[in-house]
Structures are given as C-alpha cells and as structure tokens.
C-alpha cells in the first residue's frame, strides 16, 4: 500500500461499523459504540477516516475547545499499521484544526505505549506531564501537546 493510495475523507454513517471494529481491535478499553455515532453527527468536521480500496483502514477523532484541539482517538487496522495511514490522518486533522484557529493540539497516551509515544514525538508532540491513573485499568497517561502557531 502506498500512502498516495489512501483517501482521507470526513466520516459518514456507513463508516461507523468498520470504525467500531478498528476501535475494538486497537484498544483494551474501547470507547462505547454510541460515542462514535454521536461525534459523527455533532462534529463531522473533526472526524476523519482513511480508506484504501473502499475499505476503512483508520480514523482520527478530535474535539475543539476555543483555541485548543484535542485528539480523542486515533486507530489504524493492524494489517495497515506502519504504512503511513496514521501519519496521513494526523497531518490532515492538524491542518483542519490549524485552519479553524487552533493554536495547540493536546492528547493523552498510555505510558506503556512506546510505539505511540514515538509516533507522536515524530509528529512534533512534546511531553507536558503525567496524569496518574488516567485509564480505567489504573495506568497513567503521558500528556502531550504540539503548538500549531
């Protein structure tokens, strides 16, 4: 797969089943399914989907808070990881947020998720602190942010 073959598009209702599959495959404590349906209706402009040959391979979901954006979730199907889909999704969502006046993007990541930490650092995110017992299982999160201005 070439990243040029990936299409990044806004979320549509027909993507939701596959997004939910990707979420469950990717996280030990996935967001409830209804969250994705709600966000698709409420904030479709910050909910992007990556497709390859009409298959949903990943998504990114962000929220806006005045001049700050927040990455709520990003996930890519296991067999499409490390092929550029996540990078393309994050680059696109950060550009959308920048155009909307966002000056900083925040996110949280499990302290044990070395692959994600490396990925976010490569995108220019910096560690801003630790949030103790952030996840339901008691694991801590690294707070990260990136300035867009």
41: its two tokens: 């209706």
Per-residue pLDDT reduced to its tens digit, 16-59: 999 999 999 999 889 899 999 999 999 999 999 999 988 999 99
**Cα 98 from Cα 94, distance rounded (Å):** 6
pLDDT at 15 over 90: yes
Mean pLDDT for 69-92 is: 95
Angstrom distances, CA of residue 65 to CA of 32, 93, 94, 136: 22, 15, 14, 24
Per-residue pLDDT reduced to its tens digit, 100-127: 999 999 999 999 999 999 999 999 999 9
Report the pLDDT value the prediction gives residue 2, as an integer from 0 to 100: 59
**Cα 105 from Cα 62, distance rounded (Å):** 9
pLDDT at 1 over 60: no
Q: What pTM did the predictor assign? A: 0.92
The domains of the chain, with CATH numbers, are 3-106 (3.40.630.30)
């Amino acid at each position: 797969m070439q990243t040029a073959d990936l299409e990044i598009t806004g979320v549509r209702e027909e993507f939701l089943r596959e997004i939910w599959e990707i979420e469950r495959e990717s996280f030990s404590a996935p967001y409830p399914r209804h969250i994705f349906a709600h966000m698709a209706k409420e904030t479709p402009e910050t909910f992007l989907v990556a497709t390859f040959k009409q298959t949903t391979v990943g998504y990114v979901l962000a929220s806006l808070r005045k001049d700050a954006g927040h990455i709520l979730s990003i996930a890519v199907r296991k067999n499409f990881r490390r092929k550029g889909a996540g990078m393309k999704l994050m680059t696109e969502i950060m550009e959308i947020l920048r155009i909307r006046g966002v000056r900083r993007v925040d996110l949280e990541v499990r302290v044990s998720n070395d692959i994600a930490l490396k990925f976010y650092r490569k995108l220019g995110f910096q560690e801003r602190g630790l949030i103790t017992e952030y996840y339901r299982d008691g694991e801590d999160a690294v707070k990260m942010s990136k300035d867009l201005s």
